[in-house]
C-alpha cells in the first residue's frame, strides 16, 4: 500500500467522481481506476459503490476514509515537525507537462518516494512563449531557447494493428498501405499534432474514423479490429498489448522527442539539481524496461 494510493483515494472520496479527480490530479482515468482497484484488492473489500459516472463510498469506504484522512494528516504533521527541527524547509516545484502525460503518475510517484517533503504544482497546456517564468521544469517536444534542455526520450511511434491482419509484430508497413485501414486517433494533443504533421511531410493525409482520449478504449478498438492506431514506444505505459501487433512505418519511421527544459540551478539550490537528476533517471529507467 502506497501513500500516493491513499492520497488518490481521499481525493476521489472528496469529489465522488473518477473523471473529475483524474483531471485535477493530471492522471489518466484508467490509471486512476486501476490504482483504486489495486487498493481494494489489497484490502480485500470494496471501498466504492459505482453508479455510472458517479461514485460513492461503501460503508467500509466511509470507515477507511475517516481513518486514512486522520493518518495522512498525522503523517504530514510529523514530516513538517521533523523538517522544522532539522532546519530544513518544505520545497516546492512547478512542472509544466504538456507532452506524455501518461508518464506523469510514475514520475510523481518517483519524486514523492524520494522527496516526501516535496510539494509539486502541476500546470498543463501552459503558454510556450512564456518560457520558464512560472515553472521550474517544462516538458516539450522541442528544446526551449535560452534554457538548459535535455532530451529525455527519442521514441518511435508504432503502427498498431489487429493480429488478424497479415502482419507479424515488428514487421514494416508502407505508409501508403495505411489507406487500406480505418485510423483511430487520440484526442487533440501535442503527440497527435506531431504525428499528423510528420505524416503530412510524407504526403499522407487522412481523417480518423474515431477519436478517444482513453488509451484503453483505443486499444480495445484495435483489438476488435475496428481500425489501426499510432502507439508510442515509451509514452503509453501500462497499456495492454494483447491481440495487437506493433509495426514500423516505412520508408520513414515515425519518431518524436521529449525534452526537459530548466534553468540551471544555483549552487545554493542543490535540491533542484537532485530533482533534475531524479527526473533524468526516471526516463532512463523507462527505456530500460521497454
Instruction: Specify whether the CB–CB gap between 153 and 287 falls below 8 A.
Output: yes
Q: What pLDDT digit, counting tens, does each position of 104-142 carry?
A: 888 999 999 988 888 898 877 654 445 566 688 989 888
Q: What pLDDT digit, counting tens, does each position of 196-225 carry?
A: 999 999 999 999 999 998 888 999 999 999
Highest mean pLDDT among 16-25, 28-37, 106-115: 106-115
Q: What pLDDT digit, counting tens, does each position of 40-98 carry?
A: 999 999 999 988 767 899 999 999 999 999 998 888 777 656 654 444 445 788 888 76
Confidence band (pLDDT; 50, 70, 90) for 26?
A: low
Which of 91, 146, 92 is CA-nearest to residue 263? Answer: 146
Q: What pLDDT digit, counting tens, does each position of 3-16 carry?
A: 888 988 998 998 88
Which of 211, 258, 236 is CA-nearest to residue 97? Answer: 258
Q: What pLDDT digit, counting tens, does each position of 154-166 carry?
A: 999 999 999 999 9
What is the pLDDT, as a whole number, of residue 81? 60
Q: What pLDDT digit, counting tens, does each position of 136-156 carry?
A: 898 988 888 888 999 999 999
Domains (range + CATH), the chain: 3-86 (1.10.10.10), 91-290 (3.40.190.290)
What is the pLDDT, as a whole number, of residue 79? 63
Amino acid at each position: 500500500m502506497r501513500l500516493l494510493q491513499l492520497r488518490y483515494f481521499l481525493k476521489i472520496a472528496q469529489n465522488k467522481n473518477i473523471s473529475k479527480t483524474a483531471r485535477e490530479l493530471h492522471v489518466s482515468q484508467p490509471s486512476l481506476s486501476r490504482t483504486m482497484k489495486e487498493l481494494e484488492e489489497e484490502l480485500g473489500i470494496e471501498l466504492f459503490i459505482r453508479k455510472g459516472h458517479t461514485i460513492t463510498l461503501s460503508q467500509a469506504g466511509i470507515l477507511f476514509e475517516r481513518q486514512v484522512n486522520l493518518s495522512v494528516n498525522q503523517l504530514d504533521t510529523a514530516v513538517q515537525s521533523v523538517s522544522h527541527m532539522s532546519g530544513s524547509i518544505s520545497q516546492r516545484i512547478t512542472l509544466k507537462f504538456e507532452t506524455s502525460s501518461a508518464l506523469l503518475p510514475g514520475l510523481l510517484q518517483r519524486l514523492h518516494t524520494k522527496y516526501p517533503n516535496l510539494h509539486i504544482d502541476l500546470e498543463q497546456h501552459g503558454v510556450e512563449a512564456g518560457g520558464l517564468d512560472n515553472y521550474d521544469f517544462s516538458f516539450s517536444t522541442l528544446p526551449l531557447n535560452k534554457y538548459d534542455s535535455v532530451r529525455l526520450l527519442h521514441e518511435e511511434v508504432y503502427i498498431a494493428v489487429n493480429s488478424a491482419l497479415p502482419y507479424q509484430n515488428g514487421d514494416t508497413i508502407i505508409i501508403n498501405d495505411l489507406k487500406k485501414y480505418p485510423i483511430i486517433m487520440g484526442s487533440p494533443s501535442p503527440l497527435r499534432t506531431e504525428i499528423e504533421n510528420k505524416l503530412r511531410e510524407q504526403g499522407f493525409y487522412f481523417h480518423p474514423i474515431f477519436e478517444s482520449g482513453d488509451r484503453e478504449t483505443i486499444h480495445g478498438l484495435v483489438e476488435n479490429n475496428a481500425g489501426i492506431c499510432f502507439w508510442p514506444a515509451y509514452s503509453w505505459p501500462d497499456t495492454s498489448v494483447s491481440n495487437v501487433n506493433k509495426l514500423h512505418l516505412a520508408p520513414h519511421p515515425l519518431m518524436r522527442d521529449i525534452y526537459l527544459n530548466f534553468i540551471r540551478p544555483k549552487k545554493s539550490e542543490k535540491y533542484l539539481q537532485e530533482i533534475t537528476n531524479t527526473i533524468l533517471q526516471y526516463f532512463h529507467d523507462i527505456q530500460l524496461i521497454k
